[in-house]
Amino acid sequence: GGVGARVVSTWDFGVPANQAAWTVLGNGGHPLDAVETGVLVPEADLRNHSVGRAGYPDRDGKVTLDASIMDGDGRCGAVAALEHIAHPIKVARKVMEDTPHVLLVGDGALEFALQEGFKKEDLLTPESAKAWHEWLKTAKYTPVANSENLDYHRTVQNLGMPGGKNNHDTIGMLAVDAHGRLAGACTTSGMAWKLHGRVGDSPIIGAGLYVDNEVGAATSTGVGEEVIRNAGSFLVVELMRQGRSPQQACEEAVHRIVKKRPEATKDMQVGFLALNRDGECGAYAIQKGFTYAVCDVQQQDRLIASPSLYQ
């Protein structure tokens, strides 16, 4: 059974990303190609300060990107702390396809990308540089819940850009086709103002992304340290394997995170999004404000407010 082909992704900017993915998936393309195509949209979007070009830099003013891609038969690739490459998801896929490895980091990842023909670029936009200089005045690292959405909409307004629908920073995208084949992609500039060299959950297979054709797929957004601590996306998939629905699995994973560190997580945001091989999806977050986009043959621009633990 199942609902047929479907693609889901995190935050308001998931809507245009899903539409791009649907040009592949809706035409019978492979879910892996669909998710790669989809997340290229926010990676290129200058309104989005949490993914790709125009991503906010670390505390030293360097834009360092994390990305991973995985399909349901266990093939995966990732890059972490990659500088100067506008589309880290493409490099992650090259790691998967052209190397015997899963994860390349930092200078080595950049070297590999250049060998593969990627162009070296300056990814710090004047607007992001300005925000960094503003931040340097206090230089306090205090992640703001839902900054991805808030920030995106603020930028759309400030720059008088055509109304994008979203503003979070990490996009996690999951897709399933009519045969129950799954794939996922996750790409981010990570937490703004992080320490140089900090790696979040997004490029860690099992943390920010996990896909298994036998069961389903999961991805996460928010404070990556909490997700890594709990092997979040792997946990969601394993919970589905044990019989929980995607919704129940996301809820249990959030509860696990909060239970482990109730004080530390009370103002933090973490959100999970899950899709099973029948095309059913679910999402849950610690704080309200998490959104996700769903796209299938019925509807291409649906945006859903995720339920959350705290209101």
**Could you give the residue numbers annotated as active site?**
170
Among the listed residues 159, 172, 188, the one whose alpha carbon sits nearest the alpha carbon of residue 55: 188
Residue 235 CB, shortest distance to ligand SD4, in Å, is 15
Beta-bridged to residue 209, according to DSSP, are: 205, 219
Contact indicator for 213, 207 with CB cutoff of 8 Å: no
Residue 169 CB, shortest distance to ligand SD4, in Å, is 3
User: Is the CB of 195 or the CB of 297 nearer to ligand SD4?
Assistant: 195
Give the helix ranges, DSSP H, for the chain. Answer: 14-25, 31-44, 88-98, 106-115, 126-136, 147-158, 224-229, 232-241, 246-260
Q: Which uninterrupted H or E stretch holds 183?
A: strand 182-188
Residue 50 CB, shortest distance to ligand SD4, in Å, is 5
Kindly list the residues in this chain that would bind ligand SD4 in the complex (CB under 6 A). 50, 148, 168-170, 188, 190-191, 200-202, 221-224
Residue identified by tokens 């906010």 is 56
Residue 224 CB, shortest distance to ligand SD4, in Å, is 2
Residue 44 CB, shortest distance to ligand SD4, in Å, is 17
DSSP letter for each residue of 221-269: EE-HHHHHHTTHHHHHHHHHHTT--HHHHHHHHHHHHHHHSTTTTTT--
Among the listed residues 294, 152, 289, the one whose alpha carbon sits nearest the alpha carbon of residue 221: 289
User: Is the CB of 71 or the CB of 225 nearer to ligand SD4?
Assistant: 225
User: Is the CB of 216 or the CB of 222 nearer to ligand SD4?
Assistant: 222
d(C-alpha 283, C-alpha 293), whole Å: 11
User: Is the CB of 5 or the CB of 218 nearer to ligand SD4?
Assistant: 218
User: Is the CB of 15 or the CB of 24 nearer to ligand SD4?
Assistant: 15
DSSP letter for each residue of 13-37: THHHHHHHHHHHHTTT--HHHHHHH
Residue identified by tokens 């230089």 is 139
Please give the structure tokens belonging to residue 104.
Answer: 């390349």
